[in-house]
Amino acid sequence: MPVLQYREALREAMVEEMELDDSVFLMGEEVAEYNGAYKVSQGMLERFGERRVIDSPISEEGFAGIGIGAAMTGLRPIIEFMTFSFSLVAFDQIVNNAANVRYMSGGQFQVPIVFRGSSGMAGALAATHSHRPEAWYAHVPGLIVMMPATPADAKGMLKAAIRSDDPVVFIEHEKLYGMTGEVPTGEHIVPIGKADIKRPGDDVTLITYSRSLGNTLLAAEALATEGISAEVIDLRSIRPLDLDTILTSVLKTHRVVIIEEDWPYCGLGAGIADRIYQRVFDELDAPIRRVASKDAPVPYAFNLENAMLPNVDRIIAQVKDVMYR
């Protein structure tokens, strides 16, 4: 299999779907003439022309709304936000319109649209450009939320998102764009709502997603040297959640640590822990632990930002806590 960057895998997914289906188009800030803020759409303007690769004004609410209207009339828009921190300007369009149109029209309208772009703490971007909004969007019925952690999943998940008849919030961590990995060619589809066991284990289940997968795997490797076998689950889809894969793992290991880059208060990890407690409480040999970002606005300084993140040492400490070591 060819080795591609994460950004190249995303581009390959969009190119393949646009070649297969004339109703697919890309719209967003700097996606055309500038080849994308992170060069995800490089070369696509030349390939597909200005009718299908469209530069928008810096008006997220406006072009998100245009995309929703286009989706309601039979097109399949891919709407790129330069950063998901800016998607908050379009929150009304995504939450009130995209998520509800199919339900409120009694199924007369579908909204096959993908909202995609960068997210997360990416280094000295400070509080207003470092949001991790996955829990906010996952809270909303009617939205699908996906977060790939590897180049192969980036391609397969984006292709599935573009083909979905429901609106998808597709969040790419900015720190992953330069990551490389093997990516299948051709018809590579990762089903929506299917988690992946990135490392099998027997002693403790580590649940994570997106950028945090990297540190979680490093922690699992370090724990293995001390005789602790950690199973690492990459959620991939945040909503719908693959609860079957999670519970199967918990029934094997009887211990859980959840790792997320988001804030802990009302976070995604809290919702996952609740679902585990509700279904298999008696199977747990220790309380569920969570490793999240520090509960504060994101600082500008590199060293302070790094101190906020769920690092390897913090993950190992929580695993040892549930192992009673």
The domain boundary residue, chosen from 159, 182, 205: 182
Judge whether residue 138 has pLDDT over 90. yes
Task: Please tell me whether residues 69 and 93 are part of one structural domain.
Answer: yes
160 with 246, same domain?
no
Please check whether residues 244 and 212 belong to one and the same domain: yes
d(CA 64, CA 138): 18
* 189 belongs to a structural domain: no
Q: Residues 49, 107: one domain?
A: yes
- The answer on 128 and 271 residing in a single domain is no
H-run or E-run covering 134: helix 134-138
Neighbours of 22 (CB within 10 A): 11
Same domain, 51 and 155: yes
- Shared domain for 145 and 201, answered yes or no, is no
The answer to whether residues 105 and 161 belong to one domain is: yes
* Domain membership flag for residue 187: no
Label residue 325 by pLDDT band (50, 70, 90). confident
For 33-68, the pLDDT digits (tens) are: 999 999 999 999 999 999 999 999 999 999 999 999
Residue among 235, 239, 118 nearest 172 (CA) = 118
Under the banding of pLDDT at 50, 70 and 90, the label for residue 178 is: very high
Percent over 90 (pLDDT), the chain? 98
- Of 205, 246, 249, 245, the C-alpha closest to 229 is 205
CA atoms within 13 A on the CB side of 189: 12
Q: Does residue 7 lie within any of the structural domains?
A: yes
Residue 44: the pLDDT is 98
Neighbours of 75 (CB within 10 A): 16
Residue 166 shares a structural domain with residue 268: no
Q: Are 230 and 221 in contact (CB under 8 A)?
A: no
In the structure, what pLDDT confidence band is assigned to residue 123 with cuts at 50, 70 and 90?
confident
Does 100 reside within a domain?
yes
Average pLDDT over residues 234-245: 98
Domain CATH for 209: 3.40.50.920
**Domain CATH code at residue 114:** 3.40.50.970
Q: Domain check: are 118 and 237 in the same one?
A: no
Residues 110, 162 within the same domain? yes
Identify whether 242 is part of a domain: yes
Domain boundary residue, one of 137, 159, 182? 182
Q: Are residues 128 and 277 in the same domain?
A: no
Does the pLDDT of residue 269 top 90, yes or no?
yes
Residue 19 falls inside a structural domain: yes
Structurally, the chain folds into a number of domains equal to 2
Domain boundary among 156, 182, 208: 182
Burial of 252 (0-12, 13-18, 19+ CB in 10 A): middle
* Residues taking part in catalysis: 60, 129
Q: Where residue 186 falls among pLDDT bands split at 50, 70, 90?
A: confident
DSSP state of 94: I
> To the nearest whole percent, how much of the chain has pLDDT over 70?
100
240 domain residue, yes or no: yes
> What's the whole-number mean pLDDT along residues 176-183?
97
Q: Which domain, by its residues, includes 66?
A: 3-182
Q: Amino acid identity, residue 36?
A: G
User: Is residue 145 assigned to a domain?
Assistant: yes
> Which pLDDT tens digit goes with each residue over 55-64?
999 999 999 9
Structure letter (DSSP) for residue 73 = T
